[in-house]
């Protein structure tokens, strides 16, 4: 069993006018066996939360803590975070010129396990993950994110989730660019992962559409760098019907 604990997290970014506080004290506990959804309007700091957990250098942690099973995540390198069992899929993964999907996945798996996977089983596992994610096996010969469609990026993300087998998956989702088939593949992949009671998911999303396919146990409403409301799956339905207006008005 594992536990991701975010306590009073404060994060700033450097701007031309000096530091700007984006996260203003975020507290959230995610236990294995649970799917948490973070929903909120554009610019509310959702991606900042994901990037901060991931260790992106652009974000200054000015207060609070993030721990995984009691271990200080914020003092870990990006590789150490992966080895500790965190999977962090970013909304706009960068192109990695000249690196094939196959090599990228193998490097990632080696980083997570601390040793290179055995070649024979690995090739089989990669092909199986490609099929699960609805990708042609030749996909693994392409360069990472080079000319990937929105759907292919997400399918690749699901293949990574499948292969790296983390404890906690933090997924910064945009379902805006996904056609219905890709949305289904992503949802099925996340649901397959979340079925295991040892796994936990933090799903960050702007739209409620994906939550028709992934039923969260908890929903957190994110507004202006804070959690403005929390509830169960019914809160997502309420947001779909009413939008974020009342929270945004209360926050100003
Ligand atoms: P979300 O993912 O919820 O749409 P983000 O975490 O991407 O929100 O952004 C949160 C806020 O941080 C936004 O208001 C954005 O404009 C601001 N922000 C992020 N980076 C910078 C920066 N370098 N300079 C100024 N503001 C920034
Ligand atoms: Mg479960
Ligand atoms: Mg975002």
Distance between CA 219 and CA 233 in Å, rounded?
A: 6
Span from the CA of 32 to the centroid of ligand 2 (angstroms):
8
Please, what is the Cα angle at 171 between 90 and 185, to 5 degrees? 105
212 lines ligand 1 (CB under 6 A): no
Span from the CA of 91 to the centroid of ligand 3 (angstroms):
7
In this prediction, residue 92 carries a pLDDT of 52
In this prediction, residue 81 carries a pLDDT of 92
Which residues are paired to 87 by β-bridges? 169
75 phi and psi, to 5 degrees? -95, 0
pLDDT in tens, 189-226: 999 999 999 999 999 988 788 888 999 999 999 999 99
Write down the residue that tokens 């983390």 correspond to.
166
Using alpha carbons, select from 188, 222, 190 the residue that is nearest to residue 203. Answer: 190
pLDDT in tens, 39-62: 999 999 999 999 999 999 999 999
Range of the domain at 81: 3-251
Percent of the chain at pLDDT above 90? 73
| ipTM given for this complex | 0.94
As given in the structure block, the two tokens for residue 225 are 């760098």
Contact between 50 and 88 (Cβ < 8 Å):
yes
* 22, 51, 248, best to mutate for ligand 1 pocket (most atoms within 8 Å of CB): 22
Distance between CA 103 and CA 120 in Å, rounded?
A: 15
CATH at 88: 3.40.50.300
176 lines ligand 1 (CB under 6 A): no
Please tell me the residue having the least CA distance from ligand 1 atom 13. 43
The H or E element that residue 83 is part of is helix 78-84
**Which ligand is closest in space to the CA of residue 16?**
1
Q: Which residues of the chain have pLDDT under 70?
A: 90-94, 174-176
SS3 content of the chain, % helix, strand, coil (to 5): 40, 30, 30
In this prediction, residue 221 carries a pLDDT of 97
In this prediction, residue 190 carries a pLDDT of 93
Neighbours of 198 (CB within 10 A): 11
**pTM score, two decimals?**
0.93
**Which ligand is closest in space to the CA of residue 40?**
1
Neighbours of 213 (CB within 10 A): 15
For the chain, where are the E strands, in sequence order?
3-15, 18-31, 35-39, 59-68, 71-72, 86-89, 168-173, 200-205, 218-223, 226-231
The number of folded domains in the chain is: 1
């Amino acid at each position: 069993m594992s536990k991701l604990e975010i306590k009073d997290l404060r994060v700033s970014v450097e701007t031309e006018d000096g530091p700007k506080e984006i996260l203003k004290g975020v507290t959230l506990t995610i236990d294995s066996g649970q799917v948490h959804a973070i929903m909120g309007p554009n610019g509310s700091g959702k991606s900042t939360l994901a990037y901060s957990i991931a260790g992106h250098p652009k974000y200054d942690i000015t207060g609070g803590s993030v721990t995984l099973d009691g271990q200080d995540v914020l003092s870990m390198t990006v590789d150490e975070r992966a080895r500790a069992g965190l999977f962090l899929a970013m909304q706009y993964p960068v192109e990695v010129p000249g690196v094939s999907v196959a090599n990228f996945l193998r490097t990632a798996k080696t980083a997570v396990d601390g040793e290179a996977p055995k070649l024979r089983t690995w090739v089989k596992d990669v092909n199986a993950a490609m099929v699960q994610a609805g990708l042609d096996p030749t996909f693994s010969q392409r360069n990472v994110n080079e000319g990937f469609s929105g759907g292919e990026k997400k399918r690749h993300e699901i293949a990574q989730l499948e292969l790296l087998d983390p404890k906690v998956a933090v997924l910064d989702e945009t379902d805006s660019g996904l056609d219905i088939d890709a949305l289904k593949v992503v949802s099925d992949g996340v649901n397959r992962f979340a079925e295991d009671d040892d796994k936990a998911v933090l799903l960050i999303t702007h739209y409620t559409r994906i939550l028709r396919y992934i039923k969260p146990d908890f929903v957190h409403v994110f507004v202006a760098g804070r959690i403005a409301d929390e509830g169960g799956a019914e809160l997502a339905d309420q947001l779909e019907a009413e939008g974020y207006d009342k929270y945004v008005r209360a926050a100003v």
